[in-house]
Amino acid sequence: MKIFVALLAFVAVASAASVGEPIDTHSISSTVVELIEGIQEQMPCGFPGLGLPPLAPLRIDHQDIDIDTSVLKAEGSVDHFRLNGLNDFDIDEMKINALTSKVTYKFSFRDVNVDTVYDLKVLLKKYGFTVNLIGAGHAKFTIKDMVIWGTLKYSLGMLSGNLKLKSLEVRTHLGEVDSEIEGILGDGQINEKMNEYLAEVVELAINENEDLIADTIETIALPAVNSVLDDLSIAEIISGSGGEGGEKEVCIPPEFEW
């Protein structure tokens, strides 16, 4: 979230700098692409100025799980959680229109995967039936060739300096999903079939519900981003993300035991 807000701030600053001058859309877009590439290089080290740990991979040593909703109840824990591949992407499109304050983007992620050890009890509650899933073991879940694209519109108060996100469209398509989760309803052929089913369900759920997902993301993300922007100035965001203040240090990723 903070990285997204920082990126939005840089886009707005670059656009605001063009006011009163001939607007070079290509130049602004190129500047933002360079910024994203800098973020991509920095992700293995994190962003201390924004309070963010290393993101490539993102590691969580231990996390207790306790979820209870109308359709799902899950309790247990995950250990040695590792989310890989967040920095393994290409920028296929990045167009900034300073006149309309509109950004058009498209990113391709080659291989995003989760690797963890889990111990969970999951109760699925639907249509009056309950399904008890008890599992424990090593788990890996992979999404390949994921494409994320869309548009966003923002506003920047020239006098107040307040930055607001006006709209956000995020669309996603998955190329391939692979599930290798041990211990789902036991082992052997049952576990193998459950993994095949899970991978198919996730792929279809994402690829066949683009409109619903886009609307849901906008409904959740728009107020969340603007809430963060209310508490931060553009100068604070840029400074915290390393956008100014001297020569940038080379990212040397920390070493981990797992």
Whether pLDDT at 240 is above 70: no
> Which range has the worst mean pLDDT, 42-51, 122-131, 242-251?
242-251
SS (H, E, C) the chain: CHHHHHHHHHHHHHHHCCCCCCCCHHHHHHHHHHHHHHHHHHCCCCEHHHCECCCCCEEEEEEEEEEECCCEEEEEEEEEEEEECCCCEEEEEEEEECCCCEEEEEEEEEEEEEEEEEEEEEEEEECCEEEEEEEEEEEEEEEEEEEEEEEEEEEECCCCCCEEEEEEEEEEECCEEEEEECCCCCCHHHHHHHHHHHHHHHHHHHHCCHHHHHHHHHHHHHHHHHHHHHCCCHHHHHHHCCCCCCCCCCCCCCCCCC
Is the predicted pLDDT of residue 31 greater than 50, yes or no? Answer: yes
pLDDT at 62 over 60: yes
Do 75 and 67 contact (CB within 8 A), yes or no? yes
Close Cβ partners of 14 (under 8 Å, ≥ 6 residues apart): 28, 31, 32, 96, 98
Band (19; pLDDT cuts 50, 70, 90): very low
225 vs 127, higher pLDDT: 225
Summarize pLDDT for 167-221 with one digit per residue, the tens. 999 999 999 999 999 988 777 888 898 899 889 989 998 999 999 999 999 999 9
Which position has the higher pLDDT, 74 or 126? 74
pLDDT > 90: percent of the chain: 46
- The whole-number pLDDT of residue 169 equals 96
Please tell me the CATH code under which domain 2-240 is placed. 3.15.10.30
pLDDT digits (tens, 9 = 90+) for 109-165: 999 999 999 998 888 776 555 666 778 899 999 999 999 999 999 887 665 567 788
What is the overall mean pLDDT for the chain?
83
- Output the pLDDT for position 209: 92
